[in-house]
Structures are given as C-alpha cells and as structure tokens.
Chains A and B, each alone.
Chain A
Amino acid sequence: MSEGLNIVVPIKQVPETTEVQFDEETGRLIREGVAAIINPFDEYAIEEALSIKEKLGGVVKAITMGPPWAADALRDAIAMGADEGWLATDRAFAGADTWATSLTLARCIERMGGYDLVICGLKTTDGDTGQTGPEMAEHLDIPHVCYVNEITEIGDGRVVLKRNMDEGIETLEASLPLLITVGKDINQPRLATLRGRLKAKKAEIKEITNNDLKMNPKEIGLDGSFTRVVKLFEPETHEAGEVVEGTPDELAEAILAKLQECKVI
C-alpha cells in the first residue's frame, strides 16, 4: 500500500453548551446563537486519522452534513491537519434522523473518491446515539468496529485493533475498507498549530448538495427519517428524604441505622 491510506472522518458540529434550547413544536435543536464546536469525540477520530497518515501516508478527508456554517468545523479539522473538508449542505437534508444522516453521508463518501478507512466519533454530545457510524457502514456495505481504543497494526489492507466492550477488551482483525468508532481512550488529540489555522482559513471547502447526489427526496432529510420526536419534557425530579447534620459520630450512626433498616447489614 505504497500510496498510503484514504481516510474519511465524518464530524459533526454541536452546540458548545449542554444548556440547550429546543423548539417545543418540532422537537429540534435551536442552533442559532449558540457557540458551535466540533463534537468532542470527533477530535479523537481526527487525531487517529492523522497519526495513521503520519505512519503510512495518504490523505485525511473530513466530511460533515449540516448547515453552511458547519464549514467552521471542517476548517477546525483542517487546522488540526486534515487535508480536505467536504460539506454536505442542502435544505433537503435538514431534519434528518440517524437513518437519513447515515445514508446521505454514505452517498457522499462514495463520491469523494476511494476510501480505505472511515473513522467516526463514539457518539455526538447532542444527538447522543452513537448510531450514525454503524448505520453508515451498513449503507456502505463495509464492516464496522465500535469503541476502538487501540489500533495495534495497520497496513497491507489489514488492521488489528482492540475494542472496549462492557465485559473487557476484545482484539479483532479486519480487512479494509472498514469503519470504526473511537472514544476518548484511544489518543490525545493535538491542538491546531498557527500554520494549520492559516492553511484552514484559505482552504477550499468542497460542497455537496442533492444536485450532486441525486438521492430520492423520500430518502433524505425529515422525509427520509423513520423516527419522529413527538414530545420533549423535563426529567422528573425526585422527592428528597431527610437531610441530617451533626457530629461525625452522629452522622455515621445515622448511616448505620439506614443500612440496618435496608437490611444490608
């Protein structure tokens, strides 16, 4: 694999705060007026792509589907070291759930030239599903591995990697092309350099609309989404029990009494 790897990193721009506002009617996030950042998990995906490129050569392409201003996230990725930024933006893509998002992204990736490896974040801090990656892999008809925390070998069309499952760490072998999702335990993302920022400022962002993709309108955006948000509400609060103060000894006594009441000692 002398020409190196063609790596695609799908990233998403998310609101910076977790104090979100939403439209009661449509159940969609109001993004206007909230500072936007790259989804934190996606920075680990970019870092992993860059470090593979440093080892094997190749090209790192960031892609996002979002409003025109999501181009900022792509520039941030380029500032970190990504070679290309691709923006899938079209009114028709709006309101997509993970199904429609992953299908649109898959069609974009197929148009962006070949790909060997797609690296997604574990999940986003707004959508928070972790579904987009594996769904995209199915649409691309390539295998996927979630929660990768280490790539131990990569080259010659083959990868050995470890993933973090609930019960322990699994070691897997796969051939390329492959899609993986990565979390915070895989690396330490680099900061953008000044040179990177200058390059990012001037970089051309390549736009993709549905004029390019020619997807059936029934497959994209809100119309292409199988799920509908029907209600949003505050999480229920719980009734408080008693709150006690006193000397450390009295307090320890109170806890002991509660534990006995619960019959755990």
Chain B
Amino acid sequence: MGEVPVKITDACTGCGVCVDVCPFGAIDTVNGKAVINEACRACGQCVDVCPVGAIEMSEAEAVDLSDYRGVMMYAEQRGGRVHPVSYELLGKAQELAAALSEPVYAVIVGSGVGAGAEELVNRGADKVFLYDDPALAEFRDDPYTDLLAQCCRDEKPSIFLIGATSLGRSLGPRVSAKLHTGLTADCTYLDIDPETRLLRQTRPAYGGNIMATIVTPNSRPQMATVRYKMFTEAAKVDNPKGSVVEKPIDLSNVRDRVKVLGFDEAKEQVSISEADLIVSGGLGMGDPEGFGLIGELAETLGAAVGASRPTVDEGWIDYRHQVGLSGRTVRPQVYMACGISGAVQHQAGMKTSDVIIAVNKDPEAPIFKISSLGVVGDLYEVIPRLIEKIKEHR
C-alpha cells in the first residue's frame, strides 16, 4: 500500500477528537500530538472534525494521462525460453504503437535471460527492460509483481499487455491492483479508438455468448491479459534499432513470500497450443476408448490430440487437452473435430484455425457452420478408413 495521504501539521493541539472519530483506530496520541498509523484508509473524517484545521489530506493525485507513452508487453519465460505468446504480444504491441505513434517496450524478468531480451530487440522492440538476477530464476508472483510495477512506474507506458497464460493470469491482476489501474482479462481483440486514442479491449463474456469491448479511460497503464494464439508473432526485422536496458535490482525492496519447492512437467509430448495439426474428440465418441482411435489417427498424422469439455469432465482425458473457452485456444493449420457438436464455447477455442474439418453424424451440427469441410458420417466408420488411406498414400 502507498504512503498515507493524511498529514497532521504542527497546529495539532493533541485534543484527541480525531482519535475518537477515526473508524479504523488509525490515529494515536504520541507526546501530546496526533499521529496517523498505517491502518489509515484516507476516509477524511478526521479532517472534518479537527477543531484547529491541523489535518490535511492530499487529494489522490490526479494522474496526468499525457505523462504516459509507449506500449509495453511482458515477455514471459520459463527456464530462459521465451513463451511464444510474448512474440504475439510484441506483434500486437507494434500495431498499437504504430496507431499511436508511440514506442514499443518489452520487459523481461528472470535469470540468464539476456538472449531472450536480444531476441525481442531483433523482433522490433524499441526498448527491452531487463531484470536479470539468479534470485529471479523461478517465477514467483511476489517479486515479479513488484518488479513489473516498478518498471511501469519508471517508464510510464500508456498500455501494458500480459499473456493470458496461467502465469499471466495470476500475475496481471496483482500488478494492476498494485498500480491502481484497470485490467481486462483474456482479450481476443485489441485496437485503438482513433478519436479518444484509448485501447479498445475486446473479450468473450458471459460464457462466450457475447463479446464485450472495454476501455480504461482514467488510469494508466491500460492493462490487458491477452489470449494465446490470437495474434501473429512479431517477425525478425532487418535492421533492429532497439536496445536492451538493464534495470538495477534491489531485492531488499521486493517481497518474496511463497517458496517454490518443485515442478513436475506435464507428461504429454505435444502441447496442443503449439501444434500445427490437431485431431479432437468429443462426446460423440460414446466412450473413453474413442480416444484410442483419435490417438491412432493423430499419431498417423503427427498431430496433437484435443478434446471437448464434457470428455474432460467425464475423465476420459486430461484437462490439458481441452479446447475452448474454459480450455486452451488453438490455432493450427488443420483442426479436425470428431464427434463434437461445435457449441460456441468450443468454437471460442478453435475457430481461428486455418482449416477446420468436422466429422459428425448429424447434418445439422453447428460445427458444420464453421467447417471448411464438413463430413456427415459415423466417426467409427470414417476414421479407420482414413487411417488406412493415409498409410497407403505414404
């Protein structure tokens, strides 16, 4: 919490009226003078009752929005490897910055992440703020929050984007709360309003039935977490002109209250978020064994296996395979949906795939409305033949 905005001047007579009126017990009398302690909530009641006008409250400093310039993005990394969502954010940040004629900033926190910082410069960041220290090797919400908040206070970006990964969705709210600014979760579309120059943040709302566009008019930075696989990665630029700015780190100034004891990497080889080819199974498979057939097709194609939510709820497959609003967003070259009806919540996670192929018994299935190729048929009849044909073809 920030500094207490209430001050007691020398005019204080120590009468104690304020002590009695304070609803938080935030005023003590010390040596015949009132003293404010950290329980103060700046409610202002003491200011009103002081008979000698000895209590002053600094108005919450109105933020001068014009002080804030630049589009900043957080480059998430684990073990030194920059998460691909960061390059997508950088790509988007460049577009937004171009619309505003403002610079593009990246910030990266970790240990031995200098190469990652260079890569962000190579992909067009104007400045990359680097917080590099062995003590920052593992992600912890506390120190990462404090450093990102510090970076925003120093650099005053007008926009700050964070990937809506599990890490980003834990970190983002904490940073926004610390900075006293708004945060829009899980955005799927971002642009600049040409008139107001505000960031328009669009996200699915109310179970994916509706899209909402949200702005943050009066506080800075305008913060958003952004879904993975929504935007195109920033490409390498020809003559990178940006630079890495090493930031001094004072670890005595950051909190660190949760200790990491261990990490068990998920067993699956292929992560669906990164796959170029995905074969997904839905409730239409009828039973968990269906994933045997789906897995066989996936293996034949070198594809990853996806799933609709009810199959995950039923325990047929691990949550990491779930595609959709409450699962992962995927954007493969080809997405093949087998026995999936295509509810809006499922679509929310896969409709930006380049090509969608659907196999469904029901010609009225909603999935056909978004499929490049819709195949009306029984997956148990079609898929075994398809596997044969692919093998013959080779």
Chain B interface residue count, CB cutoff 8 Å, equals 99
The answer, yes or no, to whether B265 is at the interface (CB within 8 Å) is yes
Interface segment among A52-60, A169-177, A189-197, A198-206: the answer is: A169-177
Q: A232-B210, A251-B377 are in contact. Are A243 and B368 (CB under 8 A)?
A: yes
Q: Is the CB of A171 within 8 A of B166?
A: no
In the complex, what residues of B have CB within 8 A of residue A172's CB?
Answer: 258-261
A174 and B258 contacting across the interface, CB-CB below 8 Å:
yes
Whether B41 pairs with A169 at a CB distance below 8 angstroms is no
Could you tell me if A143 and B141 are in contact, using CB atoms closer than 8 angstroms? yes
Contact check: which of B42, B184, B213, B382 meets A255 at CB < 8 Å? Answer: B382
CB distance from B329 to the nearest CB of A (A): 12
- The answer to whether the Cβ of A126 comes within 8 Å of any Cβ in the partner chain is yes
Contact check, A258 vs B209: say whether CB atoms are below 8 A apart. Answer: no
Whether A248 contacts B263 in the complex (CB less than 8 A), given A143-B141, A166-B166, A258-B357, comes out as no
Is A253's CB within 8 Å of the partner chain B?
A: yes
Q: Mark B16-52, 1 if CB is under 8 A from A, else 0.
A: 0000000110000000000000000111110000000
Please tell me if the beta carbons of A99 and B182 are within 8 angstroms of each other in the complex.
yes
**Contacting pair B214 A230 (CB below 8 A):** yes
CB proximity to B under 8 Å, residues A199-248: 214-216, 218, 225-235, 237-238, 240-246, 248
Q: A136: nearest residue on chain B (CB-CB)?
A: B177
* Count, chain A residues at interface, CB 8 A: 83
Chain B contacts for A265, CB-based, 8 A: 301, 390, 393-394
Please, how many angstroms separate the alpha-carbon atoms of A164 and B312 in the complex? Answer: 15
Chain B residues whose C-beta falls within 8 Å of the C-beta of A130 in the assembled complex:
169, 173, 185
- Residues of B185-225 contacting chain A, CB below 8 A: 185-186, 200, 204-219
Could you name 5 residue pairs across A and B whose Cβ atoms are closer than 8 Å?
A128-B207, A130-B185, A166-B166, A215-B41, A244-B374
9 tightest CB-CB pairs across the interface, nearest first?
A: A226-B182, A138-B177, A243-B374, A18-B207, A252-B385, A129-B185, A248-B381, A227-B182, A134-B173
Contacts A214-B24, A235-B344 aside, 20 further interface pairs with beta carbons under 8 A come to: A131-B169, A132-B173, A134-B173, A166-B165, A169-B264, A171-B264, A215-B43, A216-B43, A227-B214, A227-B215, A228-B214, A232-B211, A237-B370, A240-B374, A242-B373, A243-B374, A246-B377, A248-B382, A251-B359, A255-B359
Measured CB to CB, the residues of A under 8 A from B are 18-20, 22, 27, 29, 97-99, 102, 107, 125-126, 128-135, 137-139, 141, 143-147, 160, 164-175, 178, 185, 214-216, 218, 225-235, 237-238, 240-246, 248-249, 251-256, 258-260, 262, 264-265
